[in-house]
């Protein structure tokens, strides 16, 4: 708490110097301590809030390695050759010299740093400022059509000419979309919350937290009275931290726009944030997620006598549908994927459906639906597989080009006519959905059909649920069941765990929603979504390919994959040829160019982690080599997947949505038969709903 955000280096500038952000990134890059990373981010934001609050937004984007909200299509799309040519032009080095540097360092940012270290300019260039760099990158992302590549290179060269020291390294890493630092979304949001608590925008400043060292308890004499005062002040501060962090995280997952959140914080502070940045039609929220379970019986062990519903889990694409009636009567429709990609132009038939639905229900002004898009046979109405759906064109599709018809299977209503429904129990949301919007087939045969998911409620009896499950297993067009709590749990006695809630928990994986896949009977109850991160040279028939391939889970805290197992089963020869060849430097390197934790694995080559594969296996085992989920087991060893087998590429997922350590550990515990609360504390069961861990708060220096 002794940090005072008064930095002449920053305050004397008209805008936040880009070098200040580069220094912050270098500091973060030099440590693996989560506390040090969080403190650095917090103090960086505090300094910016004091001196240049208008720089907070571009700074957030730089530190998050993004340019815009996740639902925006704005991307840099810069190839390695453009960056290499720009470095070559600015440094004067030959292509051979650059290749030599690349071989020795393995990182484009390090190459640029070393290439420019000996470059001298006759006329000094003005320092780079955060807003200028951000606007330049926006221009790069906006370059389209003929001549776009040359224009991108020209902008990059202009930035590199002015860049100095660490600016060069992190500018090029930003251009390469690989900062190689452990700052992830959770850390950024936590740091932003703490910075606003400690250093509020001037108009909303708390006089108890003005950032002045002489007013803080740490500056007072350490007698008995002051120690009590410090403890009281510290408890108050921690309470404010918790409240602010929970608020900003909740706001972000329901309205994921740094633009809107930063603007609201600067104008109205934390108190007005919920009113200024509400759930909004047209801006996707992160979807609620289901926790995997291993057996049919586990449903009742988890939920006991609490009422629930079992819904069919269709083999389709998760979709969030937003619709808003405009003042002229037209309906604005937007369709978002599970990772918030705007895929509206892919589904003109869904646009037509929603327009017809609004025409039928004239009282409807706005809504947000959660649903599954499933390919259907236009003649028979039978359901098709996800593979059929993936055959549709991805964008700019006209209605007359639609060859694969779809049905929208709605299962949740999140917003209706200005009312946010997230905190209502699922029973209420489902009833509202089904009563207000019955099954509907538009007159236009090319429009999508509107349907409800097939379900069975626990009030109908366990035998009916069992029959429903058995029928699901026999169907070829479903993956299994989604089990959802209908009502909030009511507890009369004090319990160790929080009562279960039937709210819509955006971006959370809780046991209020569970998924039971029908292939649980043949080994692992749920597939894993893993990231290929390395490989070994193949032998024998596979000598021209990589085999086995090293797979990793996603570490959300550090923002990179962690190796979990080798896989050499399930691949066809055609797949090997298509995915990886021995001569593809853009995908693999003998140097560790991309941040990953390998544990005891030592692959011959490392892959760029940019794709997710669905993998199945026999079971989860303790491994002497893997460090995956090591902190969640009683052993010093990590977890691994036995007999992994490749199933398919998950093109609908980004690497940050791959399976994580808690997911892996939960399957392992379930596999061991530890379905009920642990009594001996041998294993630490992570509280899925926890907002954060404050056990290490004594190390705060903000």
702 or 580, which is more confident? 580
Residue 686 has pLDDT above 50, yes or no: no
pLDDT tens digits for range 92-107: 898 899 888 888 887 8
Residue 519 has pLDDT above 70, yes or no: no
Q: CA torsion sign, 466 to 467 to 472 to 474?
A: positive
Predicted model pTM = 0.78
CB contact burial 160-190 (16+ within 10 A = b; e otherwise): bebbeebbbbbbbbbbbebbbbbbbbbbbbb
Read off the tokens for 516.
């039971």
Distance CA 108, CA 18 (A): 19
Number of alpha carbons in the 13 Å side-chain half-sphere of residue 166? 15
Q: CA torsion sign, 616 to 619 to 623 to 626?
A: positive
Confidence of residue 618 (pLDDT cuts 50, 70, 90): confident
| Other Cβ atoms closer than 10 A to 132 | 16
* Alpha-helical regions (H) of 455-572: 462-474
Average pLDDT over residues 38-47: 95
Q: What are phi and psi of 375, to 5 degrees?
A: -70, 135
Strands (E), 277-347: 289-292, 308-314, 317-325, 331-336
pLDDT tens digits for range 450-508: 999 999 999 999 899 999 998 888 888 888 999 999 999 876 555 556 789 999 999 99
685 or 675, which is more confident? 675
Q: Supply the DSSP string of 19-54, one letter for each residue.
A: HHHHHHHHHHHT---HHHHHHHHHHHHHHHHHH-GG
From 81, 210, 59, 194, select the one nearest 132 (Cα to Cα).
59
pLDDT tens digits for range 381-420: 899 988 888 888 888 899 988 889 999 999 999 999 999 9
Give the 3-state DSSP-derived string for 567-607, with helices as H, strands as E and coil as C.
ECCCCCHHHHHHHCCCCCCCCEECCCCCCCECCCCCCCEEE
% the chain with pLDDT above 70 = 85
Q: Determine which of 147-151, 488-492, 676-680 has the lowest per-residue pLDDT on average.
A: 676-680
Please give the C-alpha separations between residue 530 and each of 2, 248, 325, 433, 509, in angstroms, as whole numbers. 42, 29, 41, 35, 17
Non-local CB neighbours of 230 within 8 Å, separated by 6+ positions: 217, 218, 220
Q: What are phi and psi of 338, to 5 degrees?
A: -65, -25
| Other Cβ atoms closer than 10 A to 250 | 18
pLDDT, residue 132, reads 96
Distance CA 46, CA 702 (A): 9
Residue 590 has pLDDT above 60, yes or no: yes
Domains annotated on the chain, with CATH: 8-65+183-267 (no CATH), 80-175 (1.10.3260.10), 286-521 (3.30.470.30), 528-671 (2.40.50.140)
Which of 116, 240, 313, 346 is catalytic? The answer is 313
CB burial of residue 698 (10 Å; 0-12, 13-18, 19+): exposed
Number of alpha carbons in the 13 Å side-chain half-sphere of residue 107? 20
Distance CA 547, CA 566 (A): 9
- Asked if 100 is an active-site residue, the reply is no
Distance CA 196, CA 200 (A): 5
């Amino acid at each position: 708490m002794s940090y005072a955000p008064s930095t002449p280096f920053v305050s004397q500038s008209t805008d936040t110097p880009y070098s200040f952000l580069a220094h912050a990134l270098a500091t973060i890059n030099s440590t693996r301590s989560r506390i040090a990373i969080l403190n650095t981010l917090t103090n960086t934001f505090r300094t910016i809030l004091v001196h240049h609050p208008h720089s907070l937004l571009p700074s957030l984007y730089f530190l998050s390695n993004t340019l815009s909200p996740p639902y925006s299509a704005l991307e840099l799309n810069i190839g390695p050759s453009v960056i290499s040519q720009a470095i070559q032009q600015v440094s004067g080095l030959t292509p051979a010299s650059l290749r030599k540097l690349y071989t020795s360092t393995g990182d484009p940012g390090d190459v640029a740093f070393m290439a420019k270290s000996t470059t001298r300019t006759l006329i000094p260039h003005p320092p780079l400022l955060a807003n200028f760099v951000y606007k330049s990158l926006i221009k790069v992302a906006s370059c389209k059509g003929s001549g776009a590549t040359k224009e991108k290179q020209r902008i990059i060269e202009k930035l590199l000419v002015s860049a100095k020291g660490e600016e060069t390294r992190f500018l090029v890493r930003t251009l390469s979309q690989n900062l190689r630092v452990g700052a992830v979304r959770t850390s950024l949001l936590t740091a932003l919350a703490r910075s606003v608590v400690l250093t509020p925008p001037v108009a909303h400043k708390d006089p108890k937290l003005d950032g002045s060292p002489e007013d803080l308890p740490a500056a007072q004499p350490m007698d008995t009275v002051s120690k009590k005062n410090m403890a009281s002040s510290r408890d108050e501060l921690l309470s404010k931290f918790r409240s602010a962090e929970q608020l900003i995280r909740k706001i972000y997952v329901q309205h994921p726009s740094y633009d809107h959140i930063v603007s609201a914080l600067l104008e109205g502070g934390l108190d007005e944030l919920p009113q200024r940045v509400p759930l909004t039609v047209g801006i996707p929220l992160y979807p609620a997620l289901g926790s995997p379970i291993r057996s049919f019986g586990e449903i009742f062990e988890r939920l006991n006598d609490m009422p629930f519903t079992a819904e069919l889990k269709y083999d389709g694409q998760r979709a969030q549908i937003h619709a808003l009636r405009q003042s002229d009567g037209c309906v604005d429709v937007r369709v978002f994927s599970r990772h918030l990609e705007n895929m509206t132009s892919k589904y003109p038939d869904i646009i037509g459906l929603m327009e017809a639905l609004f025409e039928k229900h004239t009282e409807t002004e706005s809504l947000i639906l959660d649903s599954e898009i499933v390919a259907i046979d236009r003649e028979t109405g039978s359901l098709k597989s996800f593979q059929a759906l993936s055959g549709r064109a991805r964008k700019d599709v006209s209605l007359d080009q639609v060859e694969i018809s779809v049905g929208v299977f709605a299962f949740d209503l999140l917003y209706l006519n200005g009312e946010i429904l997230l905190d209502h129990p699922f029973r209420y949301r489902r009833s509202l959905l089904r009563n207000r919007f019955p099954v509907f087939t538009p007159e236009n045969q090319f429009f999508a059909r509107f349907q409800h998911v097939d379900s069975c409620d626990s009030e109908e009896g366990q035998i009916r649920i069992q029959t429903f499950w058995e029928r699901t297993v026999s169907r070829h067009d479903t993956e299994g069941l989604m089990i959802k709590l209908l009502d909030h749990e009511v507890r009369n006695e004090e319990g160790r765990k929080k009562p279960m809630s039937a709210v819509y928990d955006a971006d959370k994986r809780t046991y209020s929603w569970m998924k039971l896949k029908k292939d649980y009977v043949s080994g692992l109850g749920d597939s894993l979504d893993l990231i290929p991160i390395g490989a070994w040279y193949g032998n024998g028939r596979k000598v021209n390919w990589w085999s086995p391939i090293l797979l990793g889970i996603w570490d959300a805290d550090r923002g990179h994959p962690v190796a979990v197992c080798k896989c050499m089963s399930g691949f066809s020869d055609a797949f090997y040829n298509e995915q990886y060849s021995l001569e593809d430097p853009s995908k693999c390197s003998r140097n560790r160019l991309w941040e990953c934790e390998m544990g005891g694995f030592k692959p011959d080559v490392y892959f760029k982690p940019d794709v997710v594969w669905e993998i199945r296996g026999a079971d989860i085992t303790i491994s002497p080599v893997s460090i995956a989920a090591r902190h969640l087991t009683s052993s010093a060893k990590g977890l691994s997947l036995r007999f992994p087998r490749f199933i398919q590429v998950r093109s609908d997922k980004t690497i940050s949505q791959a399976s994580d350590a808690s997911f892996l550990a939960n399957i392992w515990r379930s596999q061991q038969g530890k379905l009920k609360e642990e009594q001996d504390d041998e294993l630490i069961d992570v509280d899925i709903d926890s907002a954060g861990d404050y056990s290490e708060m004594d190390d705060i220096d903000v």
